[in-house]
Chain A
Amino acid sequence: MKNLKNTSCMKKIILPLLLLLFGFSAAIAQEAETDKPIDKPVRSPFASDVLIDNQTGVVPVKGTFEWLIQHRFGTMDNGIKDVFGLYTPGANIRMGFNYSLLDNLVVSYGLTMKNMYSDFAVKYALLEQTRENTIPVAVTLYGNMAIDGRNEKVFGVDYNFTNRFSYFGQVIVGRKFNDWLSLQATGSFAHYNSVAADMNHDVFGVGINGRINFSPQSSVLFQCDIPLKIQSISEQLDWDVAKPNFGIGYEVSTSTHAFQIFVTSSNGILPQDNYMYNQFDLTNGFSDLMLGFTITRLWNF
């Protein structure tokens, strides 16, 4: 019953918000048609469409097919004994496939080892930052739905297929400040249809991430995602919110590839898992940090 109530509440808030944003985007597009000369979008604010665990505002050009391999190794607490987690059990892997239907719309499917999540996602670049600051920031919407693929026994006695579903929505506001610095702020919402009795179904979060570009192909990446503890939306009187997710890494990119290697304090890969379940705590040091990498390959059709 509570689930139904939450879902209808979500619809009431999210639908008008989306309509408003789409309307705003159409109005901007009309203005752009009449004003000349055209203020073009800034050049590559980010080198790829992912940034460690987050999405960037970048959407590859229409007709681009992308294959991603995302990997999180085990924790680094054993040091050199298992080469800082590279050879320890507990790794998580996601294989993803993206296809750009439009220059500003990409759809994707991915399969993650943790919980055998199958996720279906849409990313829409609502506004692109322009060179002359006609539009000072890029605004991107990202949403996904994931299906937990584990055995149904995991979901308890009142099993229903929809118990497997989880959702994630994010608004990303980004700005390329100059050729070496791009930053993004995110506002996120995650919902799980089925959670343990002492947890909430919903969580809001905020985040900041960015890129410091120090050569034409190389950059430093960083991210910080913080789940928020909000009593007014909680179903519990006392509960522990998931731990914040920090990450720092290095990215090198070419025409068809991006390679990121990083240290993070979360291994969920899927954003809703990170915001809802992350228990790795940066303050514990090596025991809660792990190495990871992302490789992308692009094909243009």
Chain B
Amino acid sequence: MKSSNVMMLASIVAGVFLLMSFVIPQEQKKPSPWTVPADYVKKANPYNKQAADLEQVGKMLWAKHCKSCHGNNGQGDGPKARQLDTDPGNFTTGEFQTQPDGSLYYKSFVGRDEMPNYEKKIPDEEDRWALVLYMRSMGK
């Protein structure tokens, strides 16, 4: 390869790196307020008394379905979280934990936009509430 070609190639590579250094990471947008139907808000967790038994089930389901975006402990730091346009939030905060069980259920399984619907992937009611119980444990 001629030395002029080598110089040209080196310049292009250097130019590309220079341009890349000007790229500013995109900020994730804060989620707009959810509209949770009243039927769901009123829903109580029928498995609250079995919390100790179901928390492990919730943990297993969390690892399979939720962890990749929401992170190990619900802090919104999973490996796919940075690819999302919307901040997945932090489930350990008081703001998150003060929501009624029914709201968590609606947001988790009915979903919207980037939060997919999980009603078919987690068809069993008991399993869904086990996940809500597990999310509750993140605030402790």
Q: Do A and B come from one complex?
A: yes
Interface centre among B59, B62, B63 (most CB of A within 10 A): B63
Report the bound CA distance from A139 to B97 in whole Å.
43
Once the chains bind, are B120 and A255 in contact (CB under 8 Å)? no
Residue of A64, A216, A254 near B120 (CB, 8 A) is A64
Residue of A43, A64, A256 near B127 (CB, 8 A) is A43
Q: Mark B3-42, 1 if CB is under 8 A from A, else 0.
A: 0000000000000000000000000000000000000000
Q: Which residue of A lies closest to B63 (CB)?
A: A216
Chain B, interface residues (CB within 8 Å), range:
10 to 19
Once the chains bind, are B120 and A61 in contact (CB under 8 Å)? yes
Q: Tell me if B2 is interfacial: C-beta within 8 Å of chain A.
A: no
Q: Mark B106-140, 1 if CB is under 8 A from A, else 0.
A: 00000000000010110110110000000000000
Contacts of B49 in A (CB 8 A): none
**Shortest distance from the beta carbon of A260 to any chain B beta carbon, whole Å:** 15
Q: Tell me if A217 is interfacial: C-beta within 8 Å of chain B.
A: yes
Q: Tell me if A63 is interfacial: C-beta within 8 Å of chain B.
A: yes
Number of interface residues of A (CB under 8 A): 14
Report the bound CA distance from A61 to B124 in whole Å.
11
| Dominant secondary structure at the B interface | helix
Once the chains bind, are A61 and B60 in contact (CB under 8 Å)? no
Q: Tell me if A253 is interfacial: C-beta within 8 Å of chain B.
A: yes
Number of A-B contacts (CB under 8 A): 32
Q: Which residue of A lies closest to B126 (CB)?
A: A40
**Shortest distance from the beta carbon of A46 to any chain B beta carbon, whole Å:** 13
Q: Mark A154-195, 1 if CB is under 8 A from B, else 0.
A: 000000000000000000000000010000000000000000
Once the chains bind, are A217 and B120 in contact (CB under 8 Å)? no
**Shortest distance from the beta carbon of B119 to any chain A beta carbon, whole Å:** 9
Contacts of A134 in B (CB 8 A): none
Within 8 A of A (CB), among B51-71: 57, 59-60, 62-65, 68
With A254-B68, A255-B65 as known contacts, state yes or no: A63 contacts B60, CB within 8 Å: no
Once the chains bind, are A216 and B68 in contact (CB under 8 Å)? no
Q: Which residue of B lies closest to A253 (CB)?
A: B64
Contacts of A254 in B (CB 8 A): 64-65, 68
Within 8 A of B (CB), among A40-96: 40, 43, 61, 63-64
Once the chains bind, are A217 and B63 in contact (CB under 8 Å)? yes
Q: Which residue of B lies closest to A255 (CB)?
A: B65
With A43-B57, A43-B127 as known contacts, state yes or no: A216 contacts B64, CB within 8 Å: yes
| Residues of chain A whose beta carbon lies under 8 Å from any beta carbon of chain B | 40, 43, 61, 63-64, 179, 215-217, 253-256, 300
| Residues of chain B whose beta carbon lies under 8 Å from any beta carbon of chain A | 57, 59-60, 62-65, 68, 118, 120-121, 123-124, 126-127
Q: List 20 A-B contacts (CB under 8 A).
A: A40-B124, A40-B126, A43-B127, A63-B120, A64-B120, A215-B63, A216-B59, A216-B60, A216-B62, A216-B64, A217-B63, A217-B64, A253-B64, A254-B65, A254-B68, A255-B65, A255-B68, A255-B121, A300-B120, A300-B121
